[in-house]
Chains A and B, each alone.
Chain A
Amino acid sequence: MKKLLNTLFVSTPDVYVSLDGENIVVKKDSESLGRYPLHNLESICIFGYAGISPAFMGACVDRNIAITFITKNGRYLARVIGETRGNVVLRKEQYRISDDERRSALVSRNFIIGKIYNSKWILERATRDYPLRLDVEKIKAVSISLSQSMRAVRTVEELDTLRGVEGNAAVQYNSVFNDLILQQKDHFFFNGRNKRPPLDNVNALLSFTYTLLSNDMKSALEAVGLDAYVGFLHRDRPGRASLALDMMEELRSVYADRFVISLINKKVINHKGFYKKENGAVIMDDDTRKKVITAWQERKQEKIHHPFLDEKISWGLVPYAQALLLARFIRGDLDEYPPFFWK
């Protein structure tokens, strides 16, 4: 398995990012703020409107380092993509599957099984860890209904039916999501998902972490030679990385939701770091964003056991491992795509 390399986050405003030899140099008013050798990095996230030199972009494209531009609020802006390389045969097969609704449904089924399974285990784990603080009966009931959805998914062969089952499962899961928040309940609550803009603190955190996760997913897909923009469950829409969204389904709950809940429950962040704009949008301040990213990076370093590969890898490599398995399935080396089952 490849080594998890580091990600550099640039959030200081008005900086210029440039190349010097094999180094990235970040300058502010011609004074250097930092320099890092490129071989330790696998992606660079730039917040706000920093300038960046074309020579530097070129160097990153050559070395497969992803550069992502994100606004201060965590909305995705753009990404630097070089020449498409890699396996054409693989990508053409991906397009063929995407064009065939039935085949798409068969792959998507596995994404959704992974998603429901992981959501279920988050709930199960919560009831085990905090039996006295949670309404165990209510959560167990949801868990049982998720098991039923999972059974229903197994035989689905149509995308629309699949979406129906998935939607139901999501509603079920969301209905108890708020119960998992055990601390700072006055300021952090979940009454359903809202986005663009997120209207409460929890949704702001979720949106931001989904952006971080989707960046990792997009880079992982491209690293194995797949087209992140051609999906199976999510259909084509210009500018939408549908396949990355498909692949995120199974990771959303274990990777992002659980991360957000632990930030709140461990009081890594507090409500003072959030403010509301006139239009109701909730935004994090710089300090909180920094804390979230630091915690995110630490989470990525944590080791887990990958159930299918039967290997110890860091959390940060899970998107890459799943992309690799998807590529193997498309190539025909695996009979089915094995979703990531967390436990």
Chain B
Amino acid sequence: MLILITYDVSTTSAEGKKRLQKVSKKCLDYGQRVQNSVFECILDSTQLRQIKYQLENIINKETDSLRFYNLGDKYKSKVEHIGARESYDSEGTLFL
């Protein structure tokens, strides 16, 4: 299924900047960055729990927030892209 992960990490402190780095790096391990703090990940339910758990341990729940949108298996009709930064289809043919 396709999971959309977005986050908001408060970067007023040096510590916040560090957390932001960690969160973005962790998300990158699981999916592709489609906008600055928006990630699209093709995951199974185990992987989803894994990343949720890992991200929860990084953020500071007082100041930061995380959102997970589950777009299911038939996500292709649900996502539309306009403008720069084309994404790739992780289930289509990958060719470089």
A: residues with CB less than 8 A from B are: 3, 6-12, 15, 21-23, 26, 33-37, 39-41, 290, 293-294, 297-298, 301
Contact = CB atoms under 8 A, between A and B. Distances in A.
A8 B96 contact: yes
Interface residues of B, number: 19
Contacts of A23: 28-29
A298 B92 CA distance: 8
Interface of B: 25, 28-32, 41-44, 47, 88, 90-96
Given A8-B96, A11-B95, A294-B93, A22 B44 contact: no
B96 A37 contact: no
A39 B47 contact: yes
Nearest to A26: B96
Contacts of A34: 88, 94, 96
B96 A33 contact: yes
Contacts, number: 59
B90 A36 contact: yes
B29 A9 contact: no
B96 A293 contact: no
Nearest to B26: A21
A22 B29 contact: yes
A24 B36 CA distance: 20
Nearest to A295: B93
A12 B96 CA distance: 6
Interface centre among A34, A37, A297 (most CB of B within 10 A): A37
A17 B94 CA distance: 14
B94 A21 contact: no
Contacts of B96: 8-12, 15, 26, 33-34
Given A21-B25, A22-B29, A39-B30, A3 B44 contact: yes
B31 A37 contact: yes
B93 to A, nearest CB: 4
Complex A-B, nearest 5 residue pairs according to Cβ-Cβ distance, in ascending order: A22-B29, A297-B93, A8-B94, A294-B93, A21-B29
